[in-house]
Amino acid sequence: MRVSIIAFGNDFKERQELNGKVVDEINADLEIGPKLISSKRLRENSATAFEGTKKYGSFEVPGSVARGWLLAPTNVNGRPNSDVLRPWLNGRDFSARPSDRWIVDFSGLTETEANYYEAPYQHIQITVKPDRQKDRNLATRNRWWRFERERPHLRVLIGRLKRYIATTRHSKFRIFSWVHSSTVPDSALVVIACDDDVALGVLHSRFHETWALRLGSSLEDRPRYTPTTTFETFSFPEGLTPNISSKACAANPRAIVIAKAAKHLDELRNAWLNPSDLIDIVPEVVPGYPDRILPKTEAAAVELKKRTLTNLYNARPQWLVDAHRDLDTAVAAA
């Protein structure tokens, strides 16, 4: 439990205190200094950051089951199950190791169109339908085979990309990383529909991290990141805003330096998370999905379990500190 005690008097003009110190003025968010809480949402940042999908039901399946369905013969509509099967990512998988869970995704389909995909449909008939039909919300009951919140605008945007940026909504560390565009993001993630290293670099700088901590809220001791208050209010460097395509700023010297630093940070992190001598990279059983990262041995599997983004940022080895310093310097110059 977190408790805040606020005392009000009749006249604040003579003496005001905040956290035991005399101050000239107390802002509405119980802070002093610039009134950042009144920051406006910027048009150039709109329609870019979204919360992930909210499934409301057990739509997910283990990877072994999903791969069996992916390799099955086409359905009676002549279509493969890959139409409605996607890798799934939630906050825990993002911060730790991917758990190889997939999800049945009938977004946008009628029930008749969905039941043509026989095995996936039968699965959610058992795991989703009974609970959804007890819900008081009429739309939730009547569209039981679809996610409660499908995020259609987000889907359109990331459908044009090969990858997108994601971060967890609640986290001790504000970490941004790449996700393959075929992956369905859970509501525990915030998705930024950008695929260029410049955007990743600016978001991962200490400037954006500080801004997000100041304007975001918190759940217990974990800061909360939101598309509206922390992303849409943030001033990106001039000429590098989210509404400008990566091609349009490709020749910008500041963009080149930021992109180089961001890519270097990402490559170093991936090398630590998945050392080449511990893993095998295997293509998925059908095209269109990210490659699988598999441990070479049982000993490798044990070691890889320790290699998570959370553990990395808890340890903060010097190479990580240096990479973030170089990125901050590049963003500062912009």
Q: Kindly report the backbone phi and psi dihedral angles of residue 16, in degrees, each rounded to the nearest multiple of 5, phi listed first.
A: -125, 140
Residue 36 included in any domain = no
pLDDT in tens, 298-324: 999 999 999 999 999 999 999 999 999
Q: What was the pLDDT predicted at 130?
A: 95
Percent of the chain scored above 70 by pLDDT?
96
Specify the DSSP element, H or E, that contains 263: helix 253-273
Provide the pLDDT confidence category of residue 216 given band limits of 50, 70 and 90.
confident
At residue 75, does pLDDT exceed 80? yes
Residue 11 included in any domain = no
Range of the domain at 208: 45-333
Residue 25 included in any domain = no
Q: What was the pLDDT predicted at 1?
A: 63
Where do we find the tokens 């996607």?
86
Provide the pLDDT confidence category of residue 219 given band limits of 50, 70 and 90.
low
Residue 30 included in any domain = no
Find the DSSP H helices in the chain: 63-70, 91-95, 111-115, 118-127, 129-132, 138-142, 152-158, 197-203, 206-215, 253-273, 298-306, 309-315, 318-333
Locate 26 and state its tokens.
């107390």
What does the alpha-carbon distance between residue 49 and residue 74 come to, in Å, rounded to a whole number?
A: 36
Residue type, 282: V
Q: Do 124 and 59 contact (CB within 8 A), yes or no? A: yes
Nearest one of 180, 157, 326 to 245, comparing CA atoms: 157
Q: What was the pLDDT predicted at 176?
A: 97
pLDDT in tens, 1-37: 667 777 776 665 667 788 888 888 887 777 787 777 7
User: What DSSP designation does 149 have?
Assistant: B
Mean pLDDT of the chain: 92
Residue 113 included in any domain = yes
Kindly report the pTM of this predicted structure: 0.90
Residue 39 included in any domain = no
Domain count of the chain?
Answer: 1
Q: What was the pLDDT predicted at 19?
A: 85
Which residues are paired to 88 by β-bridges? Answer: 184
Residue 12 included in any domain = no
Mean pLDDT of 50-73: 96
Compute the CA torsion angle 23, 235, 48, 202 (nearest 10 deg): -100
Query: Which of 176-190, 217-231, 234-248 tops mean pLDDT?
Result: 176-190
